[in-house]
Amino acid sequence: FTLISFSPRMIPPTSKTFLVNNLAAGTVYDLCVLAIYDDGITSLTATRVVGCTQFTTEQDYVRCHFMQSQFLGGTMIIIIGGIIVASVLVFIIILMIRYKVCNNNGQQKATKVSNVYSQTNGA
């Protein structure tokens, strides 16, 4: 059981047909038509059920067609994501190389000095 929810429309009294749009495929609906009139006794607006019917919409079979917009959207997301991931990986590799070169594996080599001569003031 599914309730049709749409904005109510006034159907002229002379019309015997109307159209309901945007229904889900393969769904059972109960549709009731109400008459709205002024109640002469209470001076209020009253409603009366004119008729009800139950109907089923046809199954919507998936057609084999190429959905270009979804394909392009998914492809763009994958490409942009790949560029971002590649950029981050390159940045991390550059930082690792820079750290390794600048710190020399955490060891500082002592400078070797040979043939050292001292200059004195003669005293």
CA angle 113, 115, 117 (to 5 degrees): 105
- Decide: residue 57, CB within 10 A, 0-12 exposed, 13-18 middle, 19+ buried: middle
Phi/psi at 37 (5° precision) = -150, 165
d(CA 47, CA 87): 67
pTM of the model: 0.37
Q: How far is CA 104 from CA 24, 39, 97, 110, in A?
A: 68, 96, 10, 13
pLDDT tens-place values along the chain, 123 residues long = 444 445 556 777 787 777 777 788 888 888 888 888 787 777 788 888 888 888 888 887 655 555 666 667 778 889 999 999 999 999 999 999 888 887 765 555 566 767 766 667 765
